[in-house]
Structure 1
Amino acid sequence: MSSSASSGPRDLNGRVVEQGRLARLRSRLRPRAESGPLTLGERVEVVARSEDDAIASSVALEASSWRADDEVILRHHVEVPPDRQADAAAVAALDGYESIADERWGPAPSPRAEGLVVLVLARVQLLDAMHLSQERSRMASLGSRHGGFAREWAVLQRPPG
């Protein structure tokens, strides 16, 4: 699913939500910078992140500057063998994740394990602690099934103001 292929606000599972008449009217009355749904190509900043598998999602989000009412880009770094990268990206795409091959959010991370590559996966969605935990688990499973592991996650949002 490409970010340009379907637009609109996202739900907690990253799916586009149809807007009613009132929501469309409100979006027209808001300032231009806030009016549209978030896309993977926008300028965003990291508001929460962790490499620690043991940290609870609720704890990580509570300690962050995450704004619960705003859409986020949920980004995962998954390390997999090079010959499994395309398959892992295809499986993640079934859940609306895109493989990011450029450096829009900074330099691409280097793999930590010999013989693996870093697959950067991202999607736009609303977020809460339960759904963050669900997605972290999904990425851990994806990495494991493809001979690798989930290394890090990050929540990105538009700068406030």
Structure 2
Amino acid sequence: MGLLDRLRDLAGKRERPGLTPDTPGLEIVAESFDPAVADSAVLASSPAWVPAAPAVLVHHLSLPPDRVAEAAGILAQDGWELREQGPDGERVLARAVRVQVLDALHCAQERSRMAGLAQRLGGDALGWDARQPGESPTAPA
């Protein structure tokens, strides 16, 4: 392990092996579907969120069907996986998922990025949630 790797570990930003969007037992520990509420306030008010632990960050998007593949390609460049959930009228509901250690700054940056991407593609960013392993199994992302 090099010096840069050790520094990333100390900073708590390195993705820890083992956690994936499909890890059994993930529970929603924080969520925001109200753009007027700051991400820092959402995270601070969540007693279940473990700040130093990795989380699966899930952005909920509504996209035109003909732009889903484009969105997936753009998001994949930064390690996001776009998962289609199903139709919603003339749009497709999808979730952008990625494992990361979550903090208010990065959460706000990603929310802004998702909103911009969705808007450019003719869709909407509906909100986000963060999932971490819990004590009882729940459905994956």
Q: What secondary structure, in the 3-state scheme, does the structure 2 residue paired with 1:133 have? A: helix
1:131 alignment partner in structure 2: 106
Report whether the alignment pairs 1:93 with 2:68: no
Contact 1:89 1:119 in 2 (8 A): no
Report whether the alignment pairs 1:60 with 2:35: no
Q: How does the TM-score come out when normalised to structure 1?
A: 0.70
Matched length = 125
* Shift, 1:117, TM fit: 0.7
Please tell me the residue identity of whatever aligns with 1:70. Answer: A
Report whether the alignment pairs 1:154 with 2:129: yes
Q: Distance in 2 between matches of 1:89 and 1:139?
A: 12
Contact 2:67 2:121 in 1 (8 A): yes
Aligned with 1:37 (options 18, 34, 37)? 18
Larger Rg: 1
CA RMSD of aligned residues (A): 2.5
Q: Distance in 1 between matches of 2:31 and 2:87?
A: 17
* Shift, 1:50, TM fit: 1.5
Contact 1:73 1:156 in 2 (8 A): yes
Report whether the alignment pairs 1:78 with 2:61: yes
Q: Distance in 2 between matches of 1:38 and 1:124?
A: 7
* Shift, 1:38, TM fit: 1.2
Q: Percent same amino acid at aligned positions?
A: 40
Inter-CA distance 125–55: structure 2 relative to 1 (3 Å threshold): same
